[in-house]
Amino acid sequence: MQQKLLTPEEIAAQAGTAIPYLLLPHRASVFANRAARLRGLAEGHSMAGYLQFSAQIADVQQRILNDAKPLPLPDAAAMALCAEHGFAPLNFRNHLRDARWRSGLRRLLRDLADQTSGVPHEVVTALEREGDAFYEEQANWLLAGRRAGLQVASAPLIGAALQAYFTQRVIELGETSFPRTATATLCPCCGSRPTASVVRIGAKEAGYRFLHCSLCNAQWHMVRIKCSNCESTRGISYQHIDDGASVPKHAIAAEVCEECGTYLKICYMDRDPNLDPVADDLASLPLDLLMGEAGKTCSGVSFLLVHGILDAV
């Protein structure tokens, strides 16, 4: 049975009801579900090789998360200060990463080296030969969105290890550690930009739009028909590519803002309940190309779309 999506008028009418603000990832399934989705999307896809490789990455991310021992708790005073001033407690710009994120990266590389061949194998083994200082430098540049000096071929692997680490962090700290922050367009947990947004089904969040964090996989509520970059409600439109179905579902669209000239993909779970914002964002790359031709810039971040090995796989 399909879940009915709420119209903007219905959302406004229910403004007084309790809408979940923050949804944290499920430890047992966050990356496993992504891997399964990537493999399903790979069938018959022009990017099948890269989608399959991304599924292998997600498999190892799930194993890292399953086996990870608890991380030390952040400084309680610093957490309280963030809550008082509306800052993300795990903001990637000033969070002191535990060295175990690099252990996760090395495991990722070891596992992938045994599973890959060709260009992916060369990229994995080359990165495996690097040292901790290189890993930290590349992580800092990747998180800051810096391209000068970034080794783009290995960036998705660095990003995958960071995702596993920050995802573990938010899960262990729990929802009560992350109150609303001052900037609605950034993740209230780690301060990162979203990869995409998703209109959810089921339970209290049915019909509501949540932004999906590119780093820690948390999702936070933002009202629909509102730019997730500049927060304008004017000049919002939705663009999609024909999905070829006899009755088009258009489960993925680009939410375009004419005010700031950006777009972010929006995923509709009532049209495809199995979608994953990160996987479906990657698989819908032609939509990004269409938006680029229209002069629009993506406001989101995807570590899987850092160009490097993408064109070679």
Q: Alpha-carbon distance 276 to 282, whole Å?
A: 10
Q: Alpha-carbon distance 86 to 183, whole Å?
A: 8
Query: What are the φ and ψ backbone dihedral angles of 74, each rounded to 5 degrees?
Result: -65, 165
Q: Please count the structural domains in the chain.
A: 2
pTM beyond 0.85: the answer is: yes
* Residue 202 CA, distance from chain mean position: 21
Q: Is residue 295 part of a domain?
A: yes
Range of the domain at 240: 194-312
For residue 107 the two structure tokens come to 């495991």
- Say yes or no: 104 and 224 in one domain: no
pLDDT of 258: 97
Q: Average pLDDT for residues 287-308, to the nearest whole number? A: 90
Domain closes at, from 123, 149, 177: 177
Give the three-state DSSP class for 44.
coil
- Say yes or no: 87 and 48 in one domain: yes
Which pLDDT tens digit goes with each residue over 193-215? 999 999 999 878 899 999 999 99
Q: Alpha-carbon distance 270 to 251, whole Å?
A: 8
Is 113 within 8 Å of 126 (Cβ atoms)? no
Q: Alpha-carbon distance 50 to 158, whole Å?
A: 16
CB burial readout 277-290, b (16+ within 10 A) else e: bbbbbbbbbebbeb
Q: Specify the DSSP class assigned to residue 192.
A: P
- Say yes or no: 305 and 225 in one domain: yes
Which pLDDT tens digit goes with each residue over 131-185? 999 999 999 999 999 888 899 999 999 999 999 999 999 999 999 999 999 899 9
Q: Alpha-carbon distance 140 to 154, whole Å?
A: 14
- Say yes or no: 34 and 127 in one domain: yes
pLDDT of 217: 98
CATH code, domain carrying 232: 3.90.1670.10
